[in-house]
Structure 1
């Protein structure tokens, strides 16, 4: 096994000043351990991507870069969101690395399985997915919503690795192919499986956040789920068509029922059913317009072909 393979760890950061020192300490120990075992090259790096943080995150990255030869930093010109920041790091790292592992800065991803990622890479896998083995440390609400998210995405026809977030290894070859996916509305969990190279899974137990607050509250999680569904599935629009057809059939049945009631001499009944029908159909119409509008909005953004991120500074 050659030690010439360069590993880059890509870590998006948004307001992570509370965790950066500890994260750097633990990752430096891990990288030095891998280097001493000759699993990775001495030229391997830890690449932090600052996604327009409002705190001292970038200043800390600059400081760490000065004092630690393993640390590199990318500063985005403005906040572009986790997925775009991650992509910026991946596209930067692929120019220098043979393999890249993406992870969060908050130490929830178990860094002890990095060794397994690298070994799976040497076994011939271009993509290695980190998959949670259990959710014992999650609250009931977190566990319910997270599992519901994956099940909903699979139901909508989105090709996902169950219980996988963005903790993964990608080879240089797979990253070169990832570059060819040009969509502005990024959902990397759905894009990466489409590359199709040989892949493997490494299970791990996700830790509690070391410090700071979660960057994915319920509102952002719902938005993320909507982005994933509308970026990879047309099933919601097909569902609208199906519902519309069923309502049309129901209207025919209601018309037949009304004629029968008329000949039976019953002309007063039906107030409740009429009101319910009006509200139900009105609500469905608004929902349908909203879903169609979501797709049109995405088409609008894609046709502009704006840059997904702008790098202001790169600390090599």
Structure 2
């Protein structure tokens, strides 16, 4: 069984020309070691997914695919985002692979955890999560906000694997179930646990980025968190109702207080309190409308049913077809 396991490592790339040489070197060494140990098939592949890069990323992928038999690539027609690129790679590779590993190109996720993931797969696990054993490379702000996010998602009833990103192994069967989820608003960290099947965890120390800059600045991280929350729970809308009842309760208390003060002859014209009330209620209303609008916007994007990605060039399939003809 172990000699025939075909493994594909999917690597989403967006303007990663500075790291691709080192990433290719490390991943090919990992694949070679697993092949020599007869744990995976000689036809196992690295699948780089170019997510509409504007630098030399695709040129390097094409060069490496010509140079190394185990390297292939998929070029998307434009930038579809990290989650879309991941899904494109899984869709392409899972068709003829026994297992698929997804990992980012920046080498922050330790590639030495891959053999451990393969071992867990060979022992029967169909989903193996890569989990950080520390967050020493993150800033205090990022560590704190990440912990708050996981706790809040847990409060909303969303099952996530804390401190795991998109570094995981999935069997072909698990990939097929994942691909049966058709939503356009992708939050794979929340969808994968819904797949079920036997799972395992492999712990690793997260490294500093090898080169280049992060493709997830604060703005994108906030958007990613909002997508995760609104894609899996309607609790925020229910919280708006609770907030509305709370404000009504406060207004009733203030009304009673005002009447008592008027009866006692202690009426004071309160311009400040009036303005504070107007601004406070106006802010609450705007926030409430924006939360509802977020959900309406997701419905709008879902009902259009547009493709989640479009492939311009697929070297992986081309290579697979050539190998099958031999």
Q: Please, what TM-score do these two structures have when normalized by structure 2?
A: 0.95
Map 1:54-69; keep pairs closer than 5 Å: 54-69=54-69
Contact 1:100 1:172 in 2 (8 A): yes
In 1, distance between residues paired with 2:292 and 2:206?
A: 37
Quote the Cα distance in structure 1 between the aligned partners of 2:112 and 2:179.
29
Asked if 1:251 corresponds to 2:251, the answer is yes
- What's the counterpart of residue 190 of structure 1? 190
Give the match for residue 323 of structure 2.
Answer: none
Q: Bigger shift: 269-278 or 245-254?
A: 269-278
Give 2:322's aligned residue: none
Which residue number corresponds to residue 289 of structure 2? Answer: 289
Report the Cα distance in structure 2 between the residues aligned to 1:109 and 1:195, rounded to whole angstroms: 23
Question: Map of 1:62-81 to 2, 5 A cutoff?
Answer: 62-81=62-81
Deviation at 1:101, TM superposition (A): 0.4
In structure 2, the partner of 1:232 is 232
Structure 1 contact 121–127 (Cα < 8 Å) conserved:
yes
TM-score (norm 1): 0.98
Deviation per CA, 1:116-158: give whole Å up to 9, x if none: 1001111111100001000122222222222222223223322
| Other-structure match for 1:312 | 312
Please give the alpha-carbon distance, in whole angstroms, between the structure 1 residues aligned to 2:199 and 2:2: 21
State the Cα deviation string for residues 141-192 of structure 1 (Å, max 9, x = none).
Answer: 2222222222232233221100010000000001110111000000000000
2:156, 2:217 → 1: CA distance? Answer: 23
The answer on whether the counterparts of 2:88 and 2:309 sit within 8 Å (CA) in structure 1 is yes
Q: Is the 8 A contact 2:127 2:169 kept in 1?
A: yes
2:158 is the alignment partner of 1:158:
yes
Partners of 1:128 and 1:202 within 8 A in 2: yes
Deviation, 1:253, is 1.1
Partner residue, 1:23: 23
> Structure 2: how far apart are the matches of 1:158 and 1:127?
18
**Residue in structure 1 matched with residue 216 of structure 2 by the alignment:** 216
Q: CA deviation at 1:80?
A: 0.3
1:272 aligns with 2:254: no
- The corresponding residue for 1:298 is 298
Give deviations 1:260-300, integer Å, cap 9, x for gaps.
11111122254333222211111000000000000000000
Q: Which runs of 5+ in 2 are unaligned?
A: 317-326
Query: Does the aligned pair in 2 maintain the 1:7–1:41 contact within 8 Å?
Result: yes
Segments of 5+ residues of structure 1 without an aligned counterpart are none
CA RMSD of aligned residues (A): 1.0
**Alpha-carbon separation, structure 2, partners of 1:288 and 1:36:** 58
Range moving further from structure 2, 224-233 or 268-277? 268-277
CA contact (8 A) 2:2 2:122 kept: no
Tell me, in whole angstroms, the C-alpha distance in 1 between the residues paired with 2:149 and 2:253.
36
- Tell me the number of residue pairs that the alignment of Structure 1 and Structure 2 aligns: 316
